[in-house]
Amino acid sequence: MSIKNIFLIVFIFGIFLIIITPPFQSPDERNHFFRAIHISQGNLIGEKYDNRLGGNLPILADSLAKIFEPMVENYEKKTSFNSVYNCLFWKSEIQNLEFKDFNNTVFFSPFGYLHSVFAIKLVQFLGFPPIIWLWFSKIIALMIWLFLIYKSQSYLKDYKVLFLCLAFLPASLAVNISLSPDMLCNGLSFWCICSTLFYINDDKNQISTSFKVLFGLAICLITWMKIVYMPLIFLLLIIPNFYVLNKKYFWILFASNIFIILFWASVSSSLSIRYEDYNINFRDNLTTNQGINHSKQLFFVLSDPFRFLVIIGRTIIDYLPSTLVHYVGKFGYEKNYLSLPILALLWSVIILQLSKKNTILRKNRLYFLSISLVIIIVFSVTMYMLWTPVGESTIWNFGGKYFIPVFPLIFLGVSAIISIPKKYDLWVDKYSFICIFISNFALVFAILSRYYL
């Protein structure tokens, strides 16, 4: 089967997943939806009002959320296709506004929502109801995700099937067809990694101006959306002779990313209210935790970095089993996992793909592992500051979905430690695609069971 046919099948399957997954069942999807609507009204950042964070939104958007949000973290609560179907006949009323809270997305980069903004504005203009705003935004996200993965795999020879399998893991599809800006971060990260591999594997490939422009733009956008992935810039140092020939370019790009971090931090610095200071009438259902103090947490990290490294290590050990499960076979907001045999199949695919022979040098493997380690440390500091009370012995919210750009680096670092004969590569690839196919159909049955049956 050709690559284009594979992508066409995934596109059709992705639309099916979008339709059968009830609205607002992906992590923070309600808040991402509200943020996208707010941006579509011309607001680059959220608003602070009466000790609340959010913005004025069409009441219909919140009405849609109230129908389906009660299922979140309530395993006994179900919906029906009739409930979803009835939402298709709502009138599109966008003038009747009310302030709604979306405290944890008010400061997110607007770039990560531009595709949703386009989709929402278009269907609003055409008079469609809010559920179509949601669905069309997710379909556009699916199209962008597939485009970025298609361009990424076009650079590859040795790892083409591995990266396709990683992109089409059930958990990956579940995250990247949601309204989260993580989709763009993940897709651009895949592109950066794959394009770098293209130049690493063959030093005869000339570094083009277009590559430098696109890589620089991708890294700047990634940093603007999720600063924890900025260390991907160091992928350039793995390319033979790149730093020697492009030293000025590298440092200009590095400085640009630091400027983006400082600029956006200054713009969004006012959009922070601790749980204890939030409007008491609206804080109980917020996506935040008590006892958070950003400055005290940062001081704790800097004052005793060795202790914090121990906290990171303890957190990795504690969260490793759930992270491995989350990465391949989780869907929805809660602990919705595919069955153990399906999880085993998915990890067998990854292990077999990593056992294929390749041309990556040992020093480059160490580079990949080093970059992944730096990202994990930066991610840990960020999650500690945003989600974890000061002095906690582990870091909270250490979820597998945040490692979609990180695991490929780790896999490249440990690949071919134990290799299988090259004559089995074709069989490994066939087995891999069959397992991905089976696991995604298992995802469909799991979604139906969780939300409808």
**Predicted confidence (pLDDT) per residue in 364-373, tens digit:** 999 999 999 9
Contact (Cβ atoms closer than 8 angstroms) between residue 443 and residue 350: no
Q: Tens of pLDDT along 420-434? A: 888 888 999 999 999
Q: Tell me the C-alpha distance between 11 and 5, whole Å.
A: 10
Q: Tens of pLDDT along 376-433? A: 999 999 888 888 888 788 888 887 789 999 999 999 999 877 788 888 889 999 999 9
Confidence of residue 204 (pLDDT cuts 50, 70, 90): low
Q: Tens of pLDDT along 54-68? A: 999 999 999 999 999
Region of 319 (left: φ > 0; alpha: ψ -120 to 50; beta: rest) is alpha
In this prediction, residue 250 carries a pLDDT of: 96
In this prediction, residue 153 carries a pLDDT of: 94
Interstrand relation of 47-49 and 52-58 (parallel, antiparallel or unpaired): antiparallel
In this prediction, residue 400 carries a pLDDT of: 79
Q: Tell me the C-alpha distance between 191 and 239, whole Å.
A: 15
In this prediction, residue 202 carries a pLDDT of: 67
* Mean pLDDT value of segment 149-166: 93
Q: Tens of pLDDT along 67-118? A: 998 888 888 889 999 999 999 999 888 888 999 999 889 989 999 999 999 9
Q: Tell me the C-alpha distance between 353 and 368, whole Å.
A: 17
Q: Give SS3 for 174.
A: helix
Q: Which of 352, 360, 359 is nearest to 426 (CA)?
A: 352
In this prediction, residue 32 carries a pLDDT of: 94
Of 97-106, 162-171, 249-258, the poorest mean pLDDT is in: 97-106
Widest pairwise Cα distance in the chain: 67
Q: What is the CA radius of gyration of the chain?
A: 22
Q: Tens of pLDDT along 271-301? A: 888 888 888 888 887 777 777 777 788 888 8
In this prediction, residue 205 carries a pLDDT of: 66
| Mean residue pLDDT across the chain | 91
Of 144-153, 254-263, 286-295, the poorest mean pLDDT is in: 286-295
Contact (Cβ atoms closer than 8 angstroms) between residue 323 and residue 335: no
Q: 336 phi and psi, to 5 degrees?
A: -95, 105
In this prediction, residue 203 carries a pLDDT of: 63
Q: Give SS3 for 101.
A: strand
In this prediction, residue 287 carries a pLDDT of: 74
In this prediction, residue 88 carries a pLDDT of: 92
What the block records as the tokens of 17 is 């997943």
